[in-house]
A and B are shown apart, each in its own frame.
Chain A
Amino acid sequence: MPFAFELILSALVLAGAVLTLIGSLGLVKLPDFYMRLHGPTKATTLGGGAILLVSVLYFSQKSGDISLHEILITLFLFITAPVGAHLMAKAALHLKTKKVKRTGDYRGE
């Protein structure tokens, strides 16, 4: 494997892992549910995408052919993450989950 390619793969996999960690850190640290929703649904999804991109590049380089079945997971993850986030936010609004004062409400309460 050429050195430059290995360097790119290492940087991408570390970036993906750090983004995943940041998403989970947001899940633990942020004060209320509506803020916590941001970390996992954006940062973690992007991190997963970066890690899957590494997998595509690595197995394409290894077999000398374009390896596409990881794209399936990436696509599925990127399509379903906003849908899941939307449903969770709706459930939290329905249950009137507690929020801190600076979490605003677009209906102007």
Chain B
Amino acid sequence: MLEISLKIALLLVSIALIMSFFRLYAGPSAPDRILALDTLYVNTIGLLVIAGILLDSALFFEAALLIAVMGFVGTVALSKYLLRGDIME
């Protein structure tokens, strides 16, 4: 039963990923695109964790942790750039 619900969850998170890709493509302003990237990385963490449970492997967590850290740094850097025109002042 867990396997079936994990597969359904994988499908739902994939649909969420496609939706955030749509916003990344269409987003009328730059902050919209940053927000879409932010959503994209959070969804990817969920996807990786579900895949890790489904494949019964602990290898995916390092990737998920790395994406979490780098995604946050990317969001902050892009927002800072829009806010100040410079990242490190």
Contact = CB atoms under 8 A, between A and B. Distances in A.
Interface of A: 1, 6-7, 9-11, 13-14, 16-18, 20-21, 23-25, 27-28, 33, 36-37, 39-41, 44-45, 47-48, 51-52, 54-55, 58-59, 62, 69-70, 72-73, 76-77, 80-81, 83-84, 87-88, 90-92, 94-95, 97-98
B55 interface: no
A17 B46 contact: yes
B53 A58 contact: yes
Contacts of A41: 38
A16 B82 CA distance: 32
Interface residues of B, number: 49
Contacts of A58: 2, 53
A58 B52 CA distance: 11
Contacts of B4: 10
A34 to B, nearest CB: 10
Contacts of A90: 79, 83
Contact of A77 (B15, B36, B45, B76): B45
A31 B47 CA distance: 27
Contacts of A51: 9, 46, 49-50
Dominant SS among interface residues on chain B: helix
A44 B39 contact: yes
B32 interface: yes
A24 B23 CA distance: 9
Most buried by B among A72, A77, A90: A77
Contacts of A18: 12
A5 B15 CA distance: 27
A17 B13 contact: yes
Given A20-B12, A45-B42, A77-B45, A69 B61 contact: yes
